[in-house]
Structure 1
Amino acid sequence: MRTLAGLVVGGVTAWVAFGFLLWAGLALAVVSPWPRGRAAVLARVHAKARRLAESERRRVMRFFDADLAGDYSGARALRYLGARGAVGVLGHGVLLLLALGLASVITMLLSWATGFPWALIEDGGKVTSATIAFAAVPGVLLFYLNLTGIAGIAALERRVAARYLGPSTTELLRQRITELATSRAGIVQAVDQERRRIERDLHDGVQQRLVALGMLLGRARRQGDSELLAQAHEESQEALRDLRDVAWRVYPAGLDAVGLRDALAAVAERSAVPVSIDYAPPAALPAAVETAVYFVVCEAVTNAAKHARAGRIAVRVTARGPDVEVTVHDDGVGGADPYGGGLSGLSRRVAALDGTFAVRSPLGGPTVITAGLPCE
């Protein structure tokens, strides 16, 4: 019904557009010998065309679910009014055929039910059951064709509006250049943040353990104490574990050796909070996408375990058409900051692959982190 209403309103505004274009043409023809007058009239025509086009843009967005930015010139608005005027008249013609068909069906049924003669039927104008049966097949077919025509007009309304009122090719290229420049700056910032974090991990973790290990070995050497040697051995194992964790945060070598599924299983095993993994991605993922998926899961699980006081974490890696979607859900206290160092770095990493990244974390939880990554 909403589509029908949009076509009815569009048919009316089409005639308004045609009237405006006729007025604009006559006004410009009258002042064409005078350049100043022509420029003044043209400016007014463009301004009025933009107002009419704006009302049409809102109609298309409301009735046909189109997404239009509304940034266009007066010249483009004029061209749109001319193109959509023809579409609106065509839509009115389709609706008129639908109304005539429905009126014929209702008249035939009433004539059949009441015995009232119908002028278009011979033999006294009586409608019989045979007449109804004979007219049913072509009637249903014509009704289907009419509905198809309505759907086609609605699609044409969206396409014409997108063609004339949407961003031009130059504007799309400019937006793309801006996005690429922003993502490049974000990647540089993310790399700098990751370097600082690695340095902090090495300084506060591995380096401190190695200092403690050296002190224990020195005491054990002076005192010949086997207990101190055992402590030194345990400290060396802890230092190796810390160093391995830092190396995995630089690049998870297990992705190349065992694949993404086993690498995510290793993340779940190392987590202090129980993690369930539902892994059903597209058949094959590019290496860059696998790396991004790994870091999204790893960072989200680490944050949930450290800060969210979560009792359980659920990870889903699923196909979304040809792309892959990653969702990390925890039952913690929420309040995660999407602009914090870790999550903002993930957002930039995903944006570098033309992906989408979203964080929903109300106070009290739960926290849901979602990333969509194109695989083509």
Structure 2
Amino acid sequence: MRDMVRRVVRCAVGLIWGAAAAVVELLCTVLAGLVLLPVVAWPRGRRAVLRPVLAGARRLTELERARLRIWLRFHVPPVYGDTQAAGYVAGRWPLGLLGAVVMLSVAIGLGYGTSWMYLWLLVDDIRETEAIAYTSLGGLFLLFLAVQGILGVAELEGKLARRLLGPHHPEALERRIAELSASRAAVVDAVNDERRRIERDLHDGVQQRLVALGMLLGRALRSEDPDRVDRLLRQAHEESRNALEDLREVAWRIYPTTLDEAGLRAALETVAERASVPVRVEYGLTGEPLRAVATVVYFVVCEAVTNAVKHAAPSRIVVEVGSREGALYVSVEDDGRGGANASGSGLFGLARRVAALDGRLEVSSPPGGPTLVTAELPCA
């Protein structure tokens, strides 16, 4: 319910800005038509007039792209031509005026719907009281319809922008093929990086401890002093425990069995328990996401928490997982020293994991902190 209210308010603000922009777009369209009309049959003059007209249309379109991205959460790619921008400006203003009508309906419905709060103090006749009640109910019904209109016009805004500014079907297919090729190469690189990391962990950790264990046992076999043998066996036993712990750590970082056995929430809580600083997990999903999505979310959280503990010296870490408008959202925020390198091997590998599922990873880490790692993944 809270997410729906936020969405309606955000879209309403976007439509208000869109109504103001529609007035400017209408005036620019009329002015462009008046300027082009005398030179429509003169090629050189037409080109001279079209140049500033198309430049102005592109500026207005860029402002519209920003409005759609910030308020309506529609991401329109910037790859469009000047002619497409002019067509969009000329075709969008009716929809912007429709948004103004919807927002006016919201104001009227809100006014009539809340009229009972003050009008009943001014009347004494029971029939007038009934009229006020009917008026309020009618206003609330109009408000309900207007809210639906807000969402409908916002959806139309996104479809119009995609239709007029988006690439044509062959171009979209070519771009999608390029994205899939890049993501496939990124997955292969990520797998190779993971193999190298596992080999490094085994070589620097488990292998070294096993070598030490063998040396201790060998010295114990060659020793004839019972006290020395007992001491060496105790050291060997301790070294075997450390090797087993390192092996479990490597296995956990490869893939946690808790993710399969108990789900994503339990796996994230285990990450929080294993961290050396307080980690609070805010889990807002009502169901279990797809296995591939859950795996990427787990590794995003695990790597972000590990990096924060190693490099940022935080006093607390907050992990938030939830859904926003059909996408799974995960964020990891710490109050450490900041300055994280988004192009480092760990975060860069996470970005490739997320991109392989058509998601987005963003890192904000100014010097002095805080560091915020966010990821959005498509999720049915």
Aligned to 2:379: 375
How far is the alpha carbon of 1:301 from its aligned partner?
1.5
- For 2:29, the aligned partner's letter is A
Q: How far apart are the structure 1 equivalents of 2:76 and 2:366?
A: 31
Deviation per CA, 1:169-213: give whole Å up to 9, x if none.
333333333322222222222222111111111111000000000
Report matched runs for 1:92-131 at 5 Å: none
Aligned to 1:180: 180
1:327 to 2:331 alignment: yes
Aligned to 2:4: none
Deviation per CA, 1:103-123: give whole Å up to 9, x if none.
xxxxxxxxxxxxxxxxxxxxx
Contact 1:220–1:229 (Cα < 8 Å) also in 2:
yes
Q: How far apart are the structure 2 equivalents of 1:259 and 1:203?
A: 31
- For 2:254, the aligned partner's letter is V
Q: How far apart are the structure 1 equivalents of 2:271 and 2:59?
A: 54
Report matched runs for 1:43-122 at 5 Å: 50-51=54-55, 53-54=57-58, 57=61, 60=64, 71-73=79-81, 76=84, 87=94
> For the structure 1 residues 52 and 346, does the alpha-carbon distance in structure 2 shift closer, same or farther, using more than 3 Å as the test?
closer
Report matched runs for 1:99-248 at 5 Å: 162-223=162-223, 224=226, 225-248=229-252
Match of 1:309 among 286, 310, 313: 313
Aligned to 1:10: 25
Contact 1:60–1:161 (Cα < 8 Å) also in 2:
no
Contact 2:58–2:86 (Cα < 8 Å) also in 1:
no
How far is the alpha carbon of 1:162 from its aligned partner?
4.8
Q: How far apart are the structure 2 equivalents of 1:218 and 1:49?
A: 86
> For the structure 1 residues 372 and 73, does the alpha-carbon distance in structure 2 shift closer, same or farther, using more than 3 Å as the test?
closer
Q: How far apart are the structure 1 equivalents of 2:219 and 2:154?
A: 84
Normalising by structure 2, we get a TM-score of 0.69
Q: How far apart are the structure 1 equivalents of 2:349 and 2:236?
A: 37
- For 1:15, the aligned partner's letter is V
Task: Calculate percent identity across the aligned residue pairs.
Answer: 48
Q: How far apart are the structure 2 equivalents of 1:346 and 1:61?
A: 28
Contact 2:359–2:375 (Cα < 8 Å) also in 1:
yes
> For the structure 1 residues 155 and 362, does the alpha-carbon distance in structure 2 shift closer, same or farther, using more than 3 Å as the test?
closer
- For 2:269, the aligned partner's letter is A
How far is the alpha carbon of 1:345 from its aligned partner?
0.6
- For 1:337, the aligned partner's letter is N
Segment of structure 1 superposing worse, 207-216 or 361-370: 361-370
Contact 2:354–2:377 (Cα < 8 Å) also in 1:
yes
- For 1:54, the aligned partner's letter is R
- For 1:258, the aligned partner's letter is A
Segment of structure 1 superposing worse, 60-69 or 263-272: 60-69
Aligned to 2:115: none
Q: How far apart are the structure 1 equivalents of 2:291 and 2:194?
A: 20
Contact 1:282–1:323 (Cα < 8 Å) also in 2:
no
Contact 1:354–1:374 (Cα < 8 Å) also in 2:
yes
> For the structure 1 residues 156 and 228, does the alpha-carbon distance in structure 2 shift closer, same or farther, using more than 3 Å as the test?
closer
Contact 1:50–1:73 (Cα < 8 Å) also in 2:
no
Aligned to 2:272: 268
1:344 to 2:348 alignment: yes
Asked which structure has the greater CA Rg, the reply is 1
Task: Please list every run of 5 or more consecutive structure 2 residues that lacks an aligned counterpart in the other structure.
Answer: 1-15, 105-134
Deviation per CA, 1:79-118: give whole Å up to 9, x if none.
6687569x49x969x99xx9xxxxxxxxxxxxxxxxxxxx
Q: How far apart are the structure 1 equivalents of 2:355 and 2:170?
A: 22
SS of the residue corresponding to residue 367 of structure 2 reads coil
Task: Please list every run of 5 or more consecutive structure 1 residues that lacks an aligned counterpart in the other structure.
Answer: 28-37, 99-136
Q: How far apart are the structure 1 equivalents of 2:188 and 2:263?
A: 27
Contact 1:359–1:367 (Cα < 8 Å) also in 2:
yes
> For the structure 1 residues 9 and 329, does the alpha-carbon distance in structure 2 shift closer, same or farther, using more than 3 Å as the test?
closer
Normalising by structure 1, we get a TM-score of 0.69
How far is the alpha carbon of 1:326 from its aligned partner?
1.6
Once superposed, what is the RMSD of the aligned Cα atoms? 3.9
Q: How far apart are the structure 2 equivalents of 1:159 and 1:289?
A: 27
How far is the alpha carbon of 1:59 from its aligned partner?
7.0
How far is the alpha carbon of 1:249 from its aligned partner?
1.6
SS of the residue corresponding to residue 240 of structure 2 reads helix
How far is the alpha carbon of 1:6 from its aligned partner?
3.3
Contact 1:304–1:310 (Cα < 8 Å) also in 2:
yes
- Number of aligned positions between the proteins: 317
> For the structure 1 residues 207 and 178, does the alpha-carbon distance in structure 2 shift closer, same or farther, using more than 3 Å as the test?
same
